[in-house]
Structure 1
Amino acid sequence: MTVSLCVVGSGPAGLYVADALARRHAGARIDVLERLPTPYGLVRAGVAPDHPGTKAVTRQFDRTLARPGVRFLGNVTVGRDIALAEVRAAYDAVILAAGAPEDRRLGIPGEDLAGVYGSGAFVGWVNGHPDHAALAPRLPGPAVAIIGAGNVALDIARVLARTPEEMARGDLCAHAARIIHAAPLTDLWVIGRRGPLDAAFTPAELSELGSLARARPVVESTALHEPTPTEAMPRKTLEILRGFAARPDAEDAPVRIRILFNAAPLAIEGAAGAVTALRLARTRAEDGRAVSTGETLTLPVGTVVSAIGYRPRPLDGAPLDEARSRIANTDGVIADGLFVVGWARRGPTGVIPANRADALAVADRVSGWLADHPKGTRPGPDALDALLRQRGVRVVSRADWERINQAEIACGDMTGQPRQKITAIAEMLSLLDDTATEA
């Protein structure tokens, strides 16, 4: 009997697990469901637009979607167009790979003021994600506070600091470019509540700050006196930070990226409903925690971006483990025949390659479960197709996606960029209907 499997989510984790399962189960029918008309998840909508090389992994994902038996079904939302219970009834096994798309809140006064944004929404905006394309964040300048000490915080600072000429090589969306390049920004604060040893920057991301055309990184030298390298903070990272602290030209740069350690957000202050300042508590390390010293400082800023992590969206039939910002699971198993992979499984940690190892481990669990249970007894893709037709869902196929892809590349050719993304789902679907009529 033919095995039928369904992967919900077409980001790195979902496509890695689909590829692994296709290799393990010859002849299997594997459907990859995606709520957007476009695949690739955070590779398309989360990788910084000035890192086009990182997005080259999509070539591997294209090969997965082209495998015999593997289908891409875009514009299908589990929980809206079809219930998870219905998907489970149709397939032998279901693997959730929808990531953790919701920003965690700061939980401090003032975070609902105009000018406060989560990093997921902000990065989605610069990348043209349909959920966030209309964000149009306030960037009145001259200062922006980015709360978080990881690569996402550095990505945001770097994109705000780059010149138009530097960004031209990437796929920064035109709507974001207009606002960013017109913003009168001089100081970008990257703020970690703990010390440098607890920062999650990778050396490659951190070192990029030292080669920007008009911006210079600024680091408090006093924050770097005591730390010694650890497994969490490699020697290279500490060397880069100390090099930044020793640069004599940083304060005179047109734009300064100020990395501030041992500062925890207390409140966001505002006037007339908009951000005017961020109040912070200075902290010290105590038993692995950031404890207030009693000293406070206030940064005059017009924008605050919180880069403190993400959480999955709730889904009936897949309860959340709120404390760990993930779907509740045991080693990737949610329930009988229901699995989870990627950030939705382990929480929002790790870069793209980490999802491959995760996907291989979960694929092993799926294969082990299939070996011990009847398979090929469910109606599979045919049942899903019938339900979606009955409900009038406009499913986007892999061929449809390629038409969207080619249209975006053609728009990019006009501006000298790899692509200009179509940011509205309705526009994508209209393009498909128009090309179908022409054919």
Structure 2
Amino acid sequence: QLRVPSGSWHILAWCVHQHGGGCVWCPLPSKAATRSHHDLAQVDIYEKLPVPFGLVRFGVAPDHPEVKNVINTFTHTARSDRCAYYGNVTVGRDVTVGELQQAYHAVVLSYGAEDNRVLGIPGENLSGVYSARAFVGWYNGLPENRDLKPDLSCETALIVGHGNVALDIARILLSPLDFLRKTDITDCSLAALACSKVKRVWLAGRRGPLQVAFTIKELREMINLPGTQPVLNPADFTGLENAVKDAPRPRKRLTELMVKTALEKPREKAAMVQAAIPRLWGLKFQRSPQEVLPTPDGTRVRGVRMALTRLEGLGESAKAVPTGDVEELECGLVLSSIGYRSLPLDPAVPFDTQHGVIPNSSGRVMGVPGLYCSGWVKRGPVGVIITTMNDSFDTAQSVLEDLQGGVLDVSVSREGFGAVGSILHSRGIRPVSFSDWEKIDAAEVARGKAAGKPREKIVDPQEMLQLIGH
């Protein structure tokens, strides 16, 4: 039988959990998705945390429960008699990739992007400046971010970035508490947001409206958020309707929505609108952060100096070039949402540090037969869940082709978890099974029910382990 450690996305992969991308469980590939399958394949999933589901649990916004319904399909996969889950195992520390390769016929790395890109500007480490990854992890209950304690005592927040994550953060900051109380947002985050003084959120990007990375669904949701008013400068959208006439339909519809939103409120009513609506948000274009400005005592952020830019080129390939002009934007909270970055996992695995990916061809790790990769660590931190899902099918197909073509030698038996379990035991590591996870799940759902929520996430791994008797 083929024994393969599996990753958070798909059959024939294992994963170190990273909420930043590329780590969502996916059903076993169908014949339509991979054009073939293997009836004897055994899949073992290794996960860093005691709890599964990666990006679905820790990356999807709490007010998007419909996206989390895929957990039902993932659970069905995990309960298959050909699939086993081993949580609480950090690959690269508790067991090496080399040891996995000795135990399995194939290993697929699908560990996403655990780091974030930095702004690389003075003042970035001041109090009040946070990465989007850490902030999202905080309100979604990612254990490593549970003690973030962001300071929400200011009235104006600046989010650097024009992607879906930036919109998610803006929406969470401005959402009515009654909306959030019905979600699985963590209790400590809800308490902090209840005391928040943030009333204005600006989202700034280096380029223009034609280069924003968010999608129309998320923009429409933000525009329709109760109790808030979008503030878009009509001058930013002059002539754009003509510019997108021949653009792909998603870009055209997205631009038309921004134009409509910018123009639908007469300017003379702006003051009245601001007086009636307590919370505002807006998009600022062609502005690149140059320096985070400190308060007089030098301890925390008071604003950001922005370099104004002009665009060279057209469409999504346009480059932002500084004009030499600058402006200062006052704010007491800065959230950097400029992208994620994968990190090398194990010295035995090739890694391109410049691009933050494992060098590969259709998921086959270059120079290492039997080793594969998928998700953001394979192709970089771009795309949404469906993109990564399709990418996982591509890698699974590569594994199956190598199996059928004799690249993977299955004539020699491999012990799979039998060998890895012995290694973990010798190192004092006790894996968490899927049935163990279901006990944690039941406890979270029970706590949530008592609070009128879908679940109350446990954010401390030690509490999770104690709950299941580890």
For 2:24 and 2:250, the matched residues in 1 are separated by: 30
- Tell me, what secondary structure is at the counterpart of 2:202? strand
1:262 to 2:279 alignment: no
TM-aligned CA deviation for residue 133 of structure 1: 0.9
Could you report, residue by residue, the CA deviation over 1:70-127 in whole angstroms, capped at 9, with x for unpaired residues? 0010000001111111111110000001111211111111111111111111100000
Structure 1 range deviating more: 323-332 or 121-130:
323-332
TM-score (norm 1): 0.94
Work out which of the residue numbers 362, 370, 373 in structure 2 matches 1:337.
370
> Where does 1:300-339 land on structure 2 (aligned, <5 Å)?
300-316=330-346, 317-334=348-365, 335-339=368-372
1:223-372 matches, cutoff 5 A: 223-227=236-240, 228-229=243-244, 230-231=247-248, 234-248=251-265, 251-252=274-275, 253-271=277-295, 272-287=298-313, 288-316=318-346, 317-334=348-365, 335-371=368-404, 372=406
Corresponding residue SS for 1:323: coil
Which of 63, 69, 74 is the aligned partner of 2:76?
63
1:198-250 superposed Cα distances (whole Å, 9 cap, x missing partner): 00111110001122121111111111113222238622211221222134365
Q: Among 368, 373, 396, which residue is 2:432 paired with?
A: 396
Aligned twin of 2:206: 193
Q: Could you tell me how far apart the structure 2 residues matched to 1:19 and 1:360 are?
A: 6
After superposition, the CA RMSD in angstroms is 1.9
2:9 equivalent in structure 1: none
Query: What runs of 5+ residues in structure 1 fail to find an aligned partner?
Result: 435-439
Over 3 Å counting, the alpha-carbon distance change for 1:239 and 1:232 in structure 2 is: closer
* Gap runs ≥5 in structure 2: 7-13
Please tell me the residue identity of whatever aligns with 1:44: R
Assess if the C-alpha contact under 8 Å between 2:374 and 2:392 holds in 1: yes
Q: 1:166 offset after TM fit, Å?
A: 1.3
Cα deviation 1:162-214 (Å, max 9, x = unaligned): 01111122111111111122111111011111001000111110001122121
**After superposition, where does 1:196-215 map in structure 2 within 5 Å?**
196-215=209-228
Counterpart CA distance in 1 for 2:185 and 2:192 is: 11
Quote how far apart the aligned CAs of 1:323 are.
3.0
Matched, 1:99 2:123: no
The total of aligned residue pairs comes to 433
- Pairing partner for 2:26 from 16, 40, 48: 16
**Contact 1:46 1:123 (8 Å CA) reproduced:** yes
Partner Cα separation in structure 2 for residue 358 and residue 57 of structure 1? 17
- 8 Å Cα contact 1:94/1:338 also seen in 2: yes
Residue 374 (structure 1) aligns with: 409
The residue matched to 2:438 in structure 1 has which SS?
helix
CA deviations over 1:20-57 (Å, ceiling 9, x no partner): 69982222221000000111111100011111111111
Instruction: Please tell me whether residue 40 in structure 1 is matched to residue 39 in structure 2.
Output: no
Q: Which piece of structure 1 moves more, 71-80 or 287-296?
A: 287-296
Correspondence for 1:116 = 129
1:17 is displaced (CA, Å) by: 7.2
> How far does the alpha carbon of each residue in 1:350-399 deviate from its partner, in whole angstroms, 9 at most, with x for none?
11111221111101101111221311532222101111111111211000
Aligned to 1:437: none
CA drift at 1:318: 2.3
Between stretches 255-264 and 240-249, larger displacement belongs to 240-249
* TM score, norm. by length of structure 2: 0.88
For residues 265-293 of structure 1, what are the alpha-carbon distances to aligned partners after superposition, in whole Å with 9 as ceiling and x for unaligned? Answer: 11111133211111111111113210112
Structure 1 position 416 matched with structure 2 position 440: no
Q: Distance in 1 between matches of 2:4 and 2:294?
A: 51
Return the offset for 1:14: 6.0
Alpha-carbon separation, structure 2, partners of 1:197 and 1:319: 36
Q: Work out which of the residue numbers 222, 225, 237 in structure 1 matches 2:235.
A: 222
